[in-house]
Chains A and B, each alone.
Chain A
């Protein structure tokens, strides 16, 4: 275990929250109902808030005098560590729901363990974030049921979303060498061990919603090397525009 491992780890936790928060915010003002505008903005607020905590910590661990904003706004694609799942476009409310459901079900399991991390900062952030993620999980699970068991049209949307997103779920359980070292030191979560309980929870909701679990298939991965999908570059070019166009300016 090294500082570099811990930096990369905190970064990946921050990037996940940041990129999903950025994606969800796209719904603000454009969602299917005013109540959902409010709900989705809440999700985004939670996630960006978490991102700030993780990235602050990553910057501190790195020890080069950078801020969370420097990390969020001045890194390019190859340095981002988020799951590819989270950068996929929202497309429609069905697909957005599926992604949030798959991810927050995973994160609820994940943060439960991260709370026990030997790293005090990470365990403190996890303690705060888990309350939010449990809500995200409940919110998205309820919408899985509503859409799965709503109309034929909604079922078709959510089933398609599931099929489109499934190939990115393998990455949730993959660990880098650095993460394995942190795991041995009692700092990182053993993500691989969460696969079985995650599947059990996903299966239960899919059955209740009358949805079909996609067959096992090739999983698409790449975050450890920053080998993302084409979508991340567009998120970054938008998100980072002002910081890039006016280097060093204070806002």
Chain B
């Protein structure tokens, strides 16, 4: 997911050591008990409240990674704005990509309530220290990919983000409420693109099926590694940053999506897919976690392109941001003198 912990085991161990050493153990234990009690009582933690350093750090990592995912996510879809096949589709896609920029903005603001700055977070993105969702390292090859992204990627995102609206950190939860409203529109427009293409000519149906084949598995991997392999989840659950496990959310998404695919005549790209009458759930074949971790490491199709695009835009825009700052300073000085 946009929010899945994408650190390697070694990174996680180093981070844990780092935060543990800084805590003042005695005072912390009292504060910590009060903090946990508030969380257990379903109260929101607000920026001014005391919070354990690992909680703050976890949130900074998760929220900034989420923000980075929103803005990097603008690139694969932005790739098709100039080629959208009708004026109506162009308007919808522009509005959608603009929403994603807005999500990025809310999320950077939420992260900033935790004592970090957007510029520093971007620096971490640009140097590769911070991650973003692996899903955006796959290329958008045909117009059907815009449908598949809206339907599957935004669909997976919204499945993950609805529970985040009740996350224990107030500013993050509130940002997610705004985001979720827009995500469901994103999902609908994506599904509509797929539906129209499946009703179209043979070439359009081929594009739609091919997009389904390419995006299905990576979308499922957006929910993160299987529960057995994500040891950090327990702590996040106790802090109520996370409310459901990766596998639970993944299952929810599969159960909702398979019937949609079948309804419009798409073939599921999984020969092992079956419906379990006893559990009432779909069961899927094996996910390729080696591919997932290789994309996390930067070996995906588009990792280099995406990062280059972000770094380039930021570097090319430096003189503009500097000019805006210099102008604002001059205006302030003028007003002070007047």
A residues apposed to B, CB below 8 Å: 18, 22, 25-26, 28-38, 41-42, 44-45, 48-49, 51-52, 55, 68-69, 72-73, 92-94, 145-147, 149-151, 153-154, 157, 238-239, 241-243, 246, 249-251
Quote the shortest CB–CB distance from B72 to chain A (angstroms). 9
Q: A32: which B residues are within 8 A, CB to CB?
A: 313-314, 316-318, 320-321
Chosen A-B contacts, 18 in total, with CB atoms closer than 8 Å, are A18-B87, A28-B81, A29-B71, A32-B313, A32-B316, A32-B318, A33-B321, A37-B74, A37-B98, A42-B98, A48-B94, A145-B327, A146-B323, A147-B323, A151-B319, A154-B323, A241-B83, A249-B204
Q: A149: which B residues are within 8 A, CB to CB?
A: 327, 330
Q: B322: which A residues are within 8 A, CB to CB?
A: 150-151, 153-154
Quote the shortest CB–CB distance from B268 to chain A (angstroms). 24
The answer to whether the Cβ of B148 comes within 8 Å of any Cβ in the partner chain is no
Binding-face segment, B101-109, B149-157, B221-229, B236-244: B101-109
Are A72 and B87 closer than 8 Å at their CB atoms? yes
Given contacts A28-B94, A146-B323, 9 further A-B contacts (CB under 8 A): A25-B94, A29-B101, A32-B321, A34-B71, A48-B91, A52-B87, A147-B323, A238-B82, A239-B83
A49 touching B316 in the complex, CB below 8 Å, given contacts A25-B82, A34-B101, A41-B98: no
Interface centre among B97, B200, B309, B324 (most CB of A within 10 A): B324
CA of A135 to CA of B88 in the docked complex: distance in angstroms?
A: 23
CA of A132 to CA of B83 in the docked complex: distance in angstroms?
A: 24
Q: A68: which B residues are within 8 A, CB to CB?
A: 87
**Candidates A22, A38, A45, A251; contact of B101 at CB < 8 Å:** A38
Q: A94: which B residues are within 8 A, CB to CB?
A: 320
Chain A to chain B: the 3 pairs with minimum beta-carbon distance, closest first:
A32-B317, A150-B323, A154-B323
Q: A238: which B residues are within 8 A, CB to CB?
A: 82-83
The answer to whether the Cβ of B90 comes within 8 Å of any Cβ in the partner chain is yes
The answer to whether the Cβ of B196 comes within 8 Å of any Cβ in the partner chain is yes
Quote the shortest CB–CB distance from A179 to chain B (angstroms). 24
Q: B313: which A residues are within 8 A, CB to CB?
A: 29-32
The answer to whether the Cβ of B326 comes within 8 Å of any Cβ in the partner chain is yes
- How many pairs of A and B residues are in contact by the CB < 8 Å rule? 143
CA of A29 to CA of B80 in the docked complex: distance in angstroms?
A: 12
Q: A246: which B residues are within 8 A, CB to CB?
A: 201, 203-204
Are B196 and A250 closer than 8 Å at their CB atoms? yes
**Candidates B89, B97, B200, B330; contact of A41 at CB < 8 Å:** B97
Quote the shortest CB–CB distance from A2 to chain B (angstroms). 27
CA of A164 to CA of B314 in the docked complex: distance in angstroms?
A: 24
Are A93 and B98 closer than 8 Å at their CB atoms? no
By beta carbon, the residue of chain A nearest B122 is A34
Quote the shortest CB–CB distance from B321 to chain A (angstroms). 6
CA of A107 to CA of B41 in the docked complex: distance in angstroms?
A: 58
Q: B143: which A residues are within 8 A, CB to CB?
A: 242, 251
**Candidates B74, B87, B108, B319; contact of A29 at CB < 8 Å:** B74
The answer to whether the Cβ of B130 comes within 8 Å of any Cβ in the partner chain is no
Are B98 and A49 closer than 8 Å at their CB atoms? no
Interface centre among A26, A55, A153 (most CB of B within 10 A): A153
**Candidates A30, A150, A241, A251; contact of B309 at CB < 8 Å:** A30
By beta carbon, the residue of chain B nearest A241 is B83
CA of A30 to CA of B317 in the docked complex: distance in angstroms?
A: 9
By beta carbon, the residue of chain A nearest B142 is A242
Are A45 and B105 closer than 8 Å at their CB atoms? no
By beta carbon, the residue of chain B nearest A153 is B319
Are A25 and B81 closer than 8 Å at their CB atoms? yes
Are A150 and B74 closer than 8 Å at their CB atoms? no
Q: A92: which B residues are within 8 A, CB to CB?
A: 316
Q: A34: which B residues are within 8 A, CB to CB?
A: 71, 101, 104-105, 108
Quote the shortest CB–CB distance from A87 to chain B (angstroms). 13
CA of A37 to CA of B70 in the docked complex: distance in angstroms?
A: 13
CA of A31 to CA of B97 in the docked complex: distance in angstroms?
A: 13
The answer to whether the Cβ of B85 comes within 8 Å of any Cβ in the partner chain is yes
The answer to whether the Cβ of B95 comes within 8 Å of any Cβ in the partner chain is yes
CA of A14 to CA of B312 in the docked complex: distance in angstroms?
A: 33
Quote the shortest CB–CB distance from B292 to chain A (angstroms). 25
By beta carbon, the residue of chain B nearest A35 is B105
CA of A42 to CA of B321 in the docked complex: distance in angstroms?
A: 20
Quote the shortest CB–CB distance from B24 to chain A (angstroms). 37
Interface centre among A18, A30, A35, A44 (most CB of B within 10 A): A30
A22 touching B82 in the complex, CB below 8 Å, given contacts A150-B322, A151-B319: yes
A157 touching B319 in the complex, CB below 8 Å, given contacts A34-B104, A41-B101: yes
Q: A73: which B residues are within 8 A, CB to CB?
A: 85-86
**Candidates B87, B101, B203, B321; contact of A37 at CB < 8 Å:** B101
> Which residues between 276 and 317 of chain B lie within 8 Å of chain A, taking CB atoms?
309, 312-314, 316-317
Q: A72: which B residues are within 8 A, CB to CB?
A: 87
CA of A79 to CA of B108 in the docked complex: distance in angstroms?
A: 46
Contact with A along B53-79 (1 / 0, CB 8 A): 000000000000000000100110010
